[in-house]
Amino acid sequence: MSYAQLIGDWQALAVLFVAGVVPNQIWRMLGLWFGGGLDEGSELLVWVRAVATAILAGVIAQIVVEPPGALASVPDALRYGAVGAGLVVFLLTRRSIFAGVVTGEVFMLAGKWWLG
Amino acid sequence: MALPPLDSPQWNSSWLAFGWGLRSVTQTILTLVLFATYLGIGALAHDTHFSLLWALCSTLFVWAGPAQIILITTLGSGATIIQSAIAVTVSAIRLFPMVVSVLPLMRTPTTKRRELFFAAHLTAVTLWVECHRFLPLVPRERRIAFVNGLGFGLVSVCLTANTVGYFLAANLTQTLGAAILMLTPLSFLFSTARNSREAADVVALTLGVLLYPLAAKMNSGVDILVSGLAAGTIAYGVHWWREVRA
Protein backbone atom coordinates (compact mmCIF):
# COMPACT_ATOMS: atom_id res chain seq x y z
CA MET A 1 0.00 0.00 0.00
CA SER A 2 1.59 3.25 -1.15
CA TYR A 3 1.51 6.73 0.32
CA ALA A 4 -0.77 7.85 -2.55
CA GLN A 5 -3.27 5.11 -1.74
CA LEU A 6 -3.29 5.74 1.98
CA ILE A 7 -3.15 9.52 2.14
CA GLY A 8 -3.53 10.88 -1.39
CA ASP A 9 -3.19 14.54 -2.30
CA TRP A 10 -4.69 17.52 -0.57
CA GLN A 11 -6.60 18.63 -3.70
CA ALA A 12 -8.76 15.51 -3.50
CA LEU A 13 -9.49 16.27 0.14
CA ALA A 14 -10.37 19.86 -0.77
CA VAL A 15 -12.80 18.54 -3.41
CA LEU A 16 -14.32 16.27 -0.76
CA PHE A 17 -15.07 19.29 1.42
CA VAL A 18 -16.38 21.52 -1.35
CA ALA A 19 -18.47 18.92 -3.21
CA GLY A 20 -19.33 16.57 -0.35
CA VAL A 21 -19.08 17.89 3.18
CA VAL A 22 -20.46 21.41 2.74
CA PRO A 23 -23.45 20.59 0.46
CA ASN A 24 -24.40 17.75 2.82
CA GLN A 25 -23.77 19.40 6.17
CA ILE A 26 -25.56 22.63 5.39
CA TRP A 27 -28.94 20.86 5.75
CA ARG A 28 -28.11 19.41 9.16
CA MET A 29 -26.95 22.78 10.45
CA LEU A 30 -30.12 24.43 9.10
CA GLY A 31 -32.09 21.69 10.87
CA LEU A 32 -30.21 22.39 14.08
CA TRP A 33 -31.02 26.08 13.69
CA PHE A 34 -34.74 25.55 13.11
CA GLY A 35 -35.18 22.37 15.15
CA GLY A 36 -34.07 24.17 18.28
CA GLY A 37 -37.45 25.81 18.70
CA LEU A 38 -40.00 23.24 17.50
CA ASP A 39 -42.38 21.49 19.87
CA GLU A 40 -42.37 17.68 19.79
CA GLY A 41 -46.12 17.40 19.29
CA SER A 42 -46.59 20.27 16.83
CA GLU A 43 -48.51 19.83 13.57
CA LEU A 44 -45.62 21.41 11.63
CA LEU A 45 -43.41 18.57 12.84
CA VAL A 46 -45.86 15.97 11.50
CA TRP A 47 -45.58 17.57 8.06
CA VAL A 48 -41.80 17.89 8.32
CA ARG A 49 -41.49 14.20 9.24
CA ALA A 50 -43.74 13.18 6.33
CA VAL A 51 -41.56 15.20 3.93
CA ALA A 52 -38.38 13.64 5.40
CA THR A 53 -39.82 10.17 4.87
CA ALA A 54 -40.92 10.98 1.31
CA ILE A 55 -37.53 12.47 0.35
CA LEU A 56 -35.82 9.37 1.75
CA ALA A 57 -38.23 7.29 -0.33
CA GLY A 58 -37.08 9.30 -3.35
CA VAL A 59 -33.42 8.54 -2.56
CA ILE A 60 -34.30 4.83 -2.34
CA ALA A 61 -36.13 4.98 -5.68
CA GLN A 62 -33.23 6.87 -7.29
CA ILE A 63 -30.68 4.19 -6.40
CA VAL A 64 -32.94 1.47 -7.82
CA VAL A 65 -34.08 3.37 -10.94
CA GLU A 66 -30.72 5.03 -11.78
CA PRO A 67 -28.25 2.57 -10.21
CA PRO A 68 -24.67 3.67 -9.36
CA GLY A 69 -21.45 1.75 -10.13
CA ALA A 70 -21.59 -2.02 -10.24
CA LEU A 71 -25.33 -2.05 -9.58
CA ALA A 72 -25.86 -0.77 -13.13
CA SER A 73 -24.69 -4.21 -14.36
CA VAL A 74 -27.88 -5.75 -12.93
CA PRO A 75 -30.89 -5.72 -15.33
CA ASP A 76 -33.80 -3.39 -14.40
CA ALA A 77 -36.26 -6.24 -13.88
CA LEU A 78 -33.95 -7.94 -11.38
CA ARG A 79 -33.53 -4.79 -9.28
CA TYR A 80 -37.27 -4.08 -9.21
CA GLY A 81 -37.97 -7.78 -8.58
CA ALA A 82 -35.52 -7.82 -5.66
CA VAL A 83 -37.29 -4.89 -4.00
CA GLY A 84 -40.70 -6.52 -4.62
CA ALA A 85 -39.65 -9.93 -3.30
CA GLY A 86 -38.01 -8.36 -0.27
CA LEU A 87 -41.13 -6.31 0.44
CA VAL A 88 -43.43 -9.35 0.29
CA VAL A 89 -41.26 -11.30 2.74
CA PHE A 90 -40.86 -8.22 4.97
CA LEU A 91 -44.65 -7.97 5.26
CA LEU A 92 -45.15 -11.75 5.68
CA THR A 93 -42.58 -11.90 8.51
CA ARG A 94 -44.32 -9.12 10.43
CA ARG A 95 -41.83 -6.47 9.37
CA SER A 96 -38.50 -8.24 9.75
CA ILE A 97 -35.85 -5.91 8.22
CA PHE A 98 -33.37 -8.80 8.15
CA ALA A 99 -35.71 -11.19 6.29
CA GLY A 100 -36.61 -8.47 3.79
CA VAL A 101 -33.01 -7.46 3.04
CA VAL A 102 -31.79 -11.08 2.74
CA THR A 103 -34.67 -12.02 0.42
CA GLY A 104 -34.02 -9.03 -1.84
CA GLU A 105 -30.32 -9.83 -2.04
CA VAL A 106 -30.86 -13.56 -2.66
CA PHE A 107 -33.44 -12.77 -5.36
CA MET A 108 -31.01 -10.46 -7.16
CA LEU A 109 -28.00 -12.78 -6.85
CA ALA A 110 -30.01 -15.86 -7.90
CA GLY A 111 -31.40 -13.95 -10.87
CA LYS A 112 -27.96 -12.79 -11.93
CA TRP A 113 -26.58 -16.31 -11.62
CA TRP A 114 -29.52 -17.75 -13.59
CA LEU A 115 -29.13 -15.18 -16.37
CA GLY A 116 -25.40 -15.98 -16.45
CA MET B 1 -29.17 -6.68 26.33
CA ALA B 2 -32.07 -4.62 27.65
CA LEU B 3 -31.76 -0.99 28.65
CA PRO B 4 -32.14 -0.38 32.42
CA PRO B 5 -35.51 0.97 33.65
CA LEU B 6 -35.97 4.75 33.45
CA ASP B 7 -35.49 5.27 37.20
CA SER B 8 -32.38 3.05 37.48
CA PRO B 9 -29.14 4.50 38.92
CA GLN B 10 -27.57 3.19 35.70
CA TRP B 11 -28.73 6.48 34.15
CA ASN B 12 -27.18 8.67 36.85
CA SER B 13 -24.37 10.11 34.75
CA SER B 14 -23.92 11.20 31.16
CA TRP B 15 -20.98 8.82 30.74
CA LEU B 16 -23.12 5.85 31.76
CA ALA B 17 -25.77 6.96 29.25
CA PHE B 18 -23.05 7.31 26.58
CA GLY B 19 -22.00 3.75 27.40
CA TRP B 20 -25.55 2.45 27.03
CA GLY B 21 -25.80 4.22 23.69
CA LEU B 22 -22.51 2.67 22.59
CA ARG B 23 -23.65 -0.81 23.62
CA SER B 24 -26.98 -0.37 21.81
CA VAL B 25 -25.01 -0.59 18.55
CA THR B 26 -25.13 -4.36 19.08
CA GLN B 27 -28.93 -4.29 19.40
CA THR B 28 -29.84 -3.48 15.84
CA ILE B 29 -29.63 -5.35 12.59
CA LEU B 30 -28.95 -1.98 10.94
CA THR B 31 -25.39 -2.09 12.32
CA LEU B 32 -24.72 -5.14 10.16
CA VAL B 33 -26.30 -3.45 7.15
CA LEU B 34 -24.21 -0.32 7.77
CA PHE B 35 -21.07 -2.43 8.02
CA ALA B 36 -21.76 -4.01 4.63
CA THR B 37 -22.75 -0.68 3.06
CA TYR B 38 -19.54 1.02 4.24
CA LEU B 39 -17.51 -1.99 3.14
CA GLY B 40 -18.96 -1.21 -0.28
CA ILE B 41 -18.17 2.51 0.01
CA GLY B 42 -14.56 1.66 0.93
CA ALA B 43 -14.29 -0.62 -2.10
CA LEU B 44 -15.96 1.94 -4.35
CA ALA B 45 -13.48 4.62 -3.18
CA HIS B 46 -10.57 2.28 -3.93
CA ASP B 47 -11.84 1.45 -7.42
CA THR B 48 -12.40 5.13 -8.17
CA HIS B 49 -8.79 5.91 -7.09
CA PHE B 50 -9.53 7.87 -3.95
CA SER B 51 -7.16 7.40 -1.00
CA LEU B 52 -8.09 5.53 2.18
CA LEU B 53 -7.79 8.78 4.15
CA TRP B 54 -10.23 10.38 1.70
CA ALA B 55 -12.74 7.55 2.22
CA LEU B 56 -12.42 7.78 6.02
CA CYS B 57 -12.80 11.58 5.96
CA SER B 58 -15.92 11.28 3.82
CA THR B 59 -17.45 8.89 6.35
CA LEU B 60 -16.45 11.05 9.31
CA PHE B 61 -17.53 14.42 7.89
CA VAL B 62 -20.31 13.55 5.43
CA TRP B 63 -21.83 10.63 7.36
CA ALA B 64 -24.61 9.84 4.91
CA GLY B 65 -24.37 6.70 2.76
CA PRO B 66 -26.26 7.88 -0.33
CA ALA B 67 -24.40 11.23 -0.40
CA GLN B 68 -21.06 9.41 -0.22
CA ILE B 69 -22.04 6.96 -2.98
CA ILE B 70 -23.29 9.83 -5.15
CA LEU B 71 -20.13 11.88 -4.49
CA ILE B 72 -17.75 9.04 -5.37
CA THR B 73 -19.63 7.89 -8.47
CA THR B 74 -20.16 11.39 -9.89
CA LEU B 75 -16.56 12.53 -9.30
CA GLY B 76 -15.34 9.15 -10.57
CA SER B 77 -17.32 9.49 -13.79
CA GLY B 78 -15.82 12.91 -14.53
CA ALA B 79 -18.53 15.25 -13.28
CA THR B 80 -17.44 18.76 -12.31
CA ILE B 81 -17.22 19.77 -8.65
CA ILE B 82 -20.35 21.91 -9.07
CA GLN B 83 -22.34 19.02 -10.61
CA SER B 84 -21.28 16.68 -7.80
CA ALA B 85 -22.09 19.27 -5.15
CA ILE B 86 -25.62 19.74 -6.56
CA ALA B 87 -26.27 15.99 -6.71
CA VAL B 88 -25.04 15.60 -3.12
CA THR B 89 -27.01 18.52 -1.74
CA VAL B 90 -30.28 17.33 -3.30
CA SER B 91 -29.85 13.89 -1.74
CA ALA B 92 -29.04 15.57 1.59
CA ILE B 93 -32.12 17.77 1.78
CA ARG B 94 -33.83 14.98 3.72
CA LEU B 95 -31.37 15.58 6.57
CA PHE B 96 -33.01 18.94 7.28
CA PRO B 97 -36.47 17.56 8.19
CA MET B 98 -34.80 14.57 9.87
CA VAL B 99 -32.76 16.77 12.20
CA VAL B 100 -35.74 19.04 12.81
CA SER B 101 -37.92 16.07 13.79
CA VAL B 102 -35.34 14.18 15.85
CA LEU B 103 -33.90 16.98 18.03
CA PRO B 104 -37.15 17.70 19.92
CA LEU B 105 -37.03 14.07 21.16
CA MET B 106 -33.88 14.79 23.18
CA ARG B 107 -34.26 18.43 24.09
CA THR B 108 -35.12 19.67 27.59
CA PRO B 109 -36.21 23.26 28.39
CA THR B 110 -32.63 24.09 29.45
CA THR B 111 -30.83 22.45 26.51
CA LYS B 112 -28.55 24.82 24.59
CA ARG B 113 -28.28 24.56 20.84
CA ARG B 114 -24.55 23.77 20.86
CA GLU B 115 -25.19 20.73 23.08
CA LEU B 116 -27.19 19.27 20.16
CA PHE B 117 -24.40 19.83 17.62
CA PHE B 118 -23.07 16.26 17.60
CA ALA B 119 -26.56 14.77 17.66
CA ALA B 120 -27.40 16.88 14.58
CA HIS B 121 -24.19 15.82 12.82
CA LEU B 122 -24.77 12.13 13.62
CA THR B 123 -28.35 12.21 12.34
CA ALA B 124 -28.74 10.05 9.24
CA VAL B 125 -31.28 7.39 8.42
CA THR B 126 -30.00 4.75 10.88
CA LEU B 127 -29.79 7.09 13.85
CA TRP B 128 -33.15 8.64 12.93
CA VAL B 129 -34.84 5.24 12.92
CA GLU B 130 -33.11 4.06 16.09
CA CYS B 131 -33.85 7.29 18.00
CA HIS B 132 -37.55 6.69 17.54
CA ARG B 133 -37.09 3.13 18.81
CA PHE B 134 -34.64 3.65 21.71
CA LEU B 135 -35.29 7.14 23.04
CA PRO B 136 -38.65 6.40 24.72
CA LEU B 137 -36.63 3.95 26.89
CA VAL B 138 -34.05 6.59 27.89
CA PRO B 139 -34.60 9.31 30.55
CA ARG B 140 -35.00 12.64 28.75
CA GLU B 141 -32.06 14.39 30.43
CA ARG B 142 -29.70 11.56 29.33
CA ARG B 143 -30.88 11.29 25.73
CA ILE B 144 -28.19 13.54 24.16
CA ALA B 145 -25.41 11.50 25.81
CA PHE B 146 -27.12 8.26 24.74
CA VAL B 147 -27.40 9.45 21.11
CA ASN B 148 -23.76 10.60 21.10
CA GLY B 149 -22.72 7.12 22.31
CA LEU B 150 -24.89 5.35 19.73
CA GLY B 151 -23.59 7.60 16.95
CA PHE B 152 -19.96 7.23 18.05
CA GLY B 153 -20.38 3.45 17.94
CA LEU B 154 -21.97 3.47 14.49
CA VAL B 155 -19.29 5.79 13.06
CA SER B 156 -16.55 3.53 14.48
CA VAL B 157 -18.15 0.47 12.87
CA CYS B 158 -18.33 2.27 9.53
CA LEU B 159 -14.72 3.52 9.63
CA THR B 160 -13.61 -0.06 10.27
CA ALA B 161 -15.80 -1.29 7.41
CA ASN B 162 -14.34 1.37 5.06
CA THR B 163 -10.81 0.21 5.84
CA VAL B 164 -11.64 -3.48 5.36
CA GLY B 165 -13.54 -2.74 2.14
CA TYR B 166 -10.69 -0.60 0.80
CA PHE B 167 -8.19 -3.43 1.20
CA LEU B 168 -10.62 -6.09 -0.09
CA ALA B 169 -11.60 -4.08 -3.15
CA ALA B 170 -9.21 -5.77 -5.55
CA ASN B 171 -10.86 -9.10 -4.76
CA LEU B 172 -14.44 -7.92 -5.00
CA THR B 173 -16.30 -9.19 -8.09
CA GLN B 174 -18.80 -7.02 -9.93
CA THR B 175 -21.68 -9.17 -8.66
CA LEU B 176 -20.61 -8.78 -5.05
CA GLY B 177 -20.16 -5.04 -5.59
CA ALA B 178 -23.70 -4.85 -6.98
CA ALA B 179 -25.06 -6.85 -4.04
CA ILE B 180 -23.44 -4.44 -1.57
CA LEU B 181 -24.82 -1.37 -3.36
CA MET B 182 -28.29 -2.95 -3.36
CA LEU B 183 -28.17 -3.12 0.46
CA THR B 184 -28.73 0.63 0.75
CA PRO B 185 -32.16 0.87 -0.90
CA LEU B 186 -33.36 -2.41 0.66
CA SER B 187 -32.32 -1.54 4.21
CA PHE B 188 -33.51 2.09 3.94
CA LEU B 189 -36.89 0.94 2.63
CA PHE B 190 -37.53 -1.74 5.26
CA SER B 191 -36.16 0.16 8.22
CA THR B 192 -38.30 3.18 7.35
CA ALA B 193 -41.34 0.97 6.71
CA ARG B 194 -40.83 -0.71 10.07
CA ASN B 195 -40.75 2.71 11.69
CA SER B 196 -44.05 3.72 10.06
CA ARG B 197 -46.77 3.65 12.65
CA GLU B 198 -49.28 6.14 11.33
CA ALA B 199 -51.11 5.99 8.01
CA ALA B 200 -49.35 9.25 7.09
CA ASP B 201 -45.92 7.56 7.35
CA VAL B 202 -47.00 4.73 5.06
CA VAL B 203 -48.49 7.16 2.54
CA ALA B 204 -45.32 9.31 2.58
CA LEU B 205 -43.07 6.28 2.00
CA THR B 206 -45.21 4.65 -0.70
CA LEU B 207 -46.01 7.84 -2.61
CA GLY B 208 -42.41 9.01 -2.22
CA VAL B 209 -41.15 5.89 -4.02
CA LEU B 210 -43.87 6.00 -6.70
CA LEU B 211 -43.69 9.74 -7.44
CA TYR B 212 -39.90 9.88 -7.84
CA PRO B 213 -39.78 8.22 -11.30
CA LEU B 214 -42.48 10.68 -12.44
CA ALA B 215 -40.61 13.67 -11.02
CA ALA B 216 -37.37 12.39 -12.56
CA LYS B 217 -38.93 12.84 -16.01
CA MET B 218 -38.74 16.59 -15.48
CA ASN B 219 -34.97 16.31 -15.14
CA SER B 220 -34.95 19.46 -13.03
CA GLY B 221 -31.95 18.50 -10.90
CA VAL B 222 -34.14 18.76 -7.81
CA ASP B 223 -36.48 15.87 -8.71
CA ILE B 224 -36.17 14.26 -5.27
CA LEU B 225 -37.19 17.52 -3.62
CA VAL B 226 -40.25 17.86 -5.90
CA SER B 227 -41.50 14.30 -5.36
CA GLY B 228 -40.67 14.45 -1.62
CA LEU B 229 -42.53 17.71 -1.01
CA ALA B 230 -45.54 16.50 -3.00
CA ALA B 231 -45.72 13.04 -1.39
CA GLY B 232 -45.01 14.40 2.11
CA THR B 233 -47.67 17.08 1.83
CA ILE B 234 -50.29 14.59 0.56
CA ALA B 235 -49.35 12.31 3.49
CA TYR B 236 -49.82 15.21 5.88
CA GLY B 237 -53.23 15.84 4.27
CA VAL B 238 -54.19 12.24 5.05
CA HIS B 239 -53.07 12.72 8.67
CA TRP B 240 -55.01 15.99 8.94
CA TRP B 241 -58.16 14.46 7.42
CA ARG B 242 -58.07 11.55 9.86
CA GLU B 243 -57.59 13.93 12.82
CA VAL B 244 -60.55 16.04 11.73
CA ARG B 245 -62.78 13.00 11.42
CA ALA B 246 -61.70 11.50 14.73
- Which of A7, A34, A76, A97 has the highest number of chain B CBs within 10 A, making it the mutation to test binding with B? A97
Residue A1's pLDDT is: 66
Alpha carbon distance A10, B227 (integer Å): 37
Which 105-134 residues of chain B touch chain A by CB within 8 A? 105, 107, 113, 116-117, 120-121, 123, 125, 128
Interface contact flag, B93 A61, Cβ < 8 Å: no
Alpha carbon distance B8, B3 (integer Å): 10
* pLDDT over 90 percentage in chain A: 54
Higher pLDDT, B122 or B197: B122
Q: Which tens digits make up the pLDDT trace of B145-201?
A: 999 999 999 999 999 999 998 988 877 788 888 898 898 889 889 988 987 878 888
Q: How confident is the model at residue A111 (pLDDT cuts 50, 70, 90)?
A: very high
Residue B21's pLDDT is: 96
Report DSSP state, residue B109.
Answer: T
Averaged pLDDT of chain B: 89
Contacts of B228-231 with C-beta under 8 Å, sequence gap 24+, read B228/A51, B228/A54, B228/A55, B228/A56, B228/A57, B228/A58, B228/B93, B228/B94, B229/A51, B229/A54, B230/A54, B231/A50, B231/A54, B231/A57, B231/A58, B231/B203, B231/B204, B231/B207
Residue B221's pLDDT is: 65
The dihedral through the CA atoms of A71, A77, A82, A84 has a sign that is: positive
Q: Which tens digits make up the pLDDT trace of A76-104?
A: 999 999 999 999 999 999 999 889 999 99
